A and B are shown apart, each in its own frame.
Chain A
Amino acid sequence: MVLSQKLHEAFKGTVERITGPRTVSAFKEKGVLSVSEFITAGDNLVSKCPTWSWESGEPSKRKPYLPTEKQYLITRNVPCLRRAASVEEEYEAAGGEVLLDDEDNDGWLATHGKPKEGKSEEDENLPSMENLEISKNKAVKLTPSYFGGDDDEDIPDMADYEDHDNVIESDPATLQPTYLVAHEPDDDNILRTRTYDVSITYDKYYQTPRVWLTGYDESRMLLQPELVLEDVSQDHAHKTVTIEDHPHLPGKHASVHPCRHGAVMKKIIDVLMSRGVEPEVDKYLFLFLKFVASVIPTIEYDYTMDFDLGSSSN
């Protein structure tokens, strides 16, 4: 962690301790949420997309300003069939994108092979409102993703412990272990599938929701947060996506940093309003998750968008 990030974390923590949570709505003006609006929007998400649910998390980490049983939202076992990193590589190879080589050497990608000039920060964070279509049926690059990495010395060679005494009976009614893999219907390739637990917490400092990712490899072993970054759009890996302590769960998890969330949400809300749609605060998380999908395009969590986003003004 860089020093500036640490200093900021310390500052943020202090501000969070001494200031009260937001109680006045500034949803349309600033794109932020009060605590009660977060609960309203969360309740709506849970009722429309039942794969999401509220949880109370670690008792020692509970936030007093949130109801005990509604500390954060989570959806578990969300498949991630391909690596965002490899999808982008293929796209690029097909001439879809051009690397913008600017002075800062940030390596931003310009889409559709047309480098835009004067691309502002806002533009980059603003998601397209169209559905993100990811080309299918492409070869999938498998990345070794066991938990351990540099901790290998701690993990004994489990093959030494393979059971040779046959305590496990063979049983003809047990389906043999192709069960570890997912089958993609129109593809002969057998895919190994990573899965994610995606959670949404309330960030008191930025007054916005914040998304956290816990990854599992194809045999449901915990992924190191660094490997999670392979499933993050490469524009965002290591920049807007950082690895930090989860506010309600133990361990380090990857998180989409919320510093720009308010501004981005404000932009989305402005776009909707300019189209004559009056956004309602209980739809906030649907808009928010739509935006997050541009950061984690291959993690197939649920954010149904098939209904009106707000009441139309005309």
Chain B
Amino acid sequence: MADQGNRSLLQFAPFQSAVDEGFWHRLSSLKLNKLGIDDSPIPITGFYAPCSHSQVSNHLTLLAESLPDELSEQSTLTVASLGNRNRCSVPGILYNTNTVENFYSLDKMSLLKEEAKKIWEDIHTGKAMEDSSVLSRFLLISFADLKKWTFHYWFAFPALLLDPPATLVDLRPALQYFSTEEAESVSEACNAWRNSSSTADIPFFLISVDANSNATIKNLKDWETCQGDSNKLFFGFYDPCHLPNNPGWPLRNFLALICSRWNLNSVRFLCYRENRGFADLGSSLVGETLIAVSQGWNDRQCVPNAVGWELNKGRKMPRCISLARSMDPTRLAISAA
């Protein structure tokens, strides 16, 4: 414990949001044609993928398909729009208010807590082991001004805080961490995982590397079966972040799960990143972190503190987009004349 003070904190790069124009178009028609003044929360689906370029991070993206279709009762997420390696789905919830005043008076603190509680529950019930995407659950609040075709919105990516925070022992490119043989085998296993339609959109997984440098990837629920052997075990996740010295946001709730379920103190993780769609161990990171949470942190009844409201250009404020140019019928008529 003596050297704890010298060790740096593990710092995570926040998730970034991106909203496709199609999302706002569908929200508008949903609001006008179906929802009316009903402002109850709407389950939505976000999409993300591992970082695929060394200079830009990937985002949590909302598309038209993120919203339920106004005509059909079931969601439009058919086979055609699901299970795509470039769009791993993440559950989210949308609070769309009827007035701008309601938007600004939403209790952001308690909304965030509510979502954090769902994540905490999913960790404790084991649901997060079956469907790991719930670990990246997100929240969106919005106000759609359909008279001016302007949308005010604010994302939150709830992250459960470890108390005290995890400290960093080692973090370096996977290529430096692994031997040549190991790196080759890890790449191969990751590419196979990403190319199989049954696993391509599962963002959290285990990588087991045996004494002969053979890597295999397993589902989280197979953790117990990995305990008997002497293989090196890594907790892998699709990392949307491109930064060379920081893991991305999804690792936060993953560490909370690892700490809560398996009570591990030392965790080896792999931030999985790609280049042009293939495993890139030069930009992927392997890290080792120490977790020493206080007694009582893992109490199911007591949800850890959470953070995660997205900043707008570094400031605590919502975003706003005007789509009058593509939605306002009078302007469309003028530009078409």
Contact = CB atoms under 8 A, between A and B. Distances in A.
Given A151-B324, A154-B324, A172-B165, A250 B307 contact: no
Contacts of B87: 53
A249 B242 contact: no
Interface string B307-321: 101011111111111
B96 interface: no
A278 interface: no
A145 B89 CA distance: 30
Contacts of A1: 335-336
Contact of A155 (B21, B317, B322): B322
B95 interface: no
A53 B85 contact: yes
Given A173-B11, A250-B21, A304-B276, A77 B55 contact: no
A68 B80 CA distance: 7
Contact of A220 (B16, B149, B242, B335): B16
A144 interface: no
B94 interface: no
Contacts of A175: 11-14, 243, 246
A175 B162 CA distance: 15
Interface stretch (A25-33, A34-42, A109-117, A157-165): A157-165
A198 B162 CA distance: 40
A53 B165 contact: no
B35 interface: no
A69 B84 CA distance: 11
B85 A58 contact: no
A151 B325 contact: yes
Interface in B274-331: 276-278, 305, 307, 309, 311-326
B59 A250 contact: no
A252 B194 contact: no
A183 B55 contact: yes
Query: Which of the four size classes fits the interface of chain A?
Result: 35 or more
A195 B57 CA distance: 10
A304 B161 CA distance: 42
A249 B11 contact: no
A252 B56 CA distance: 25
Given A51-B86, A147-B322, A79 B55 contact: yes
Nearest to A56: B80
Contacts of A13: none
B9 A172 contact: yes
B66 interface: no
A158 B317 contact: yes
A51 B276 contact: yes
A173 B166 CA distance: 8
Interface in A207-227: 214, 216, 219-222, 224
Interface in B1-58: 9-14, 16-18, 20-22, 25, 52-53, 55-58
Nearest to A250: B25
Contacts of B252: 173
A163 B322 contact: no
B320 A163 contact: no
B79 interface: yes
A148 interface: yes
Contacts of A79: 53, 55-56
B18 A220 contact: yes
Given A169-B305, A177-B311, A249 B22 contact: yes
A59 interface: yes
B61 to A, nearest CB: 7
Contacts of B263: none
Contact of B25 (A76, A156, A251): A251
A161 B319 CA distance: 10
B52 A51 contact: yes
Contacts of A155: 150, 320, 322
Given A161-B317, A173-B11, A179-B14, A69 B324 contact: no
Nearest to B195: A50
Interface in B149-163: 149-150, 161-162
Given A220-B18, A221-B321, A250-B22, A154 B108 contact: no
Nearest to A150: B325
Contact of B59 (A49, A77, A156, A302): A77
Given A151-B325, A162-B315, A58 B64 contact: yes
A52 B87 CA distance: 11
Interface string B193-236: 01100000000000000000000000000000000000000000
Given A147-B322, A173-B165, A193 B55 contact: yes
Contact of A168 (B59, B85, B309): B309
A230 to B, nearest CB: 18
Nearest to B108: A167
Contact of B320 (A158, A197, A214): A158
Interface in A44-77: 49-53, 55-56, 58-59, 68-69, 75-77
Nearest to A245: B326
B324 A179 contact: no
A1 B334 CA distance: 11
Contacts of A159: 315, 317
A174 interface: yes
B109 interface: yes
13 contacts: A51-B276, A53-B87, A69-B80, A77-B53, A77-B56, A79-B56, A159-B317, A162-B317, A173-B11, A173-B161, A214-B21, A250-B22, A250-B326
Interface of A: 1, 49-53, 55-56, 58-59, 68-69, 75-79, 81, 147-148, 151, 154-156, 158-159, 161-163, 167-169, 171-175, 177, 179-180, 182-184, 191, 193, 195, 197, 214, 216, 219-222, 224, 249-252, 300, 302, 304
6 nearest A-B residue pairs (beta carbon)? A50-B277, A69-B80, A163-B316, A251-B326, A220-B18, A177-B314
Given A51-B52, A220-B18, 4 more contacts: A69-B80, A75-B86, A180-B16, A250-B25
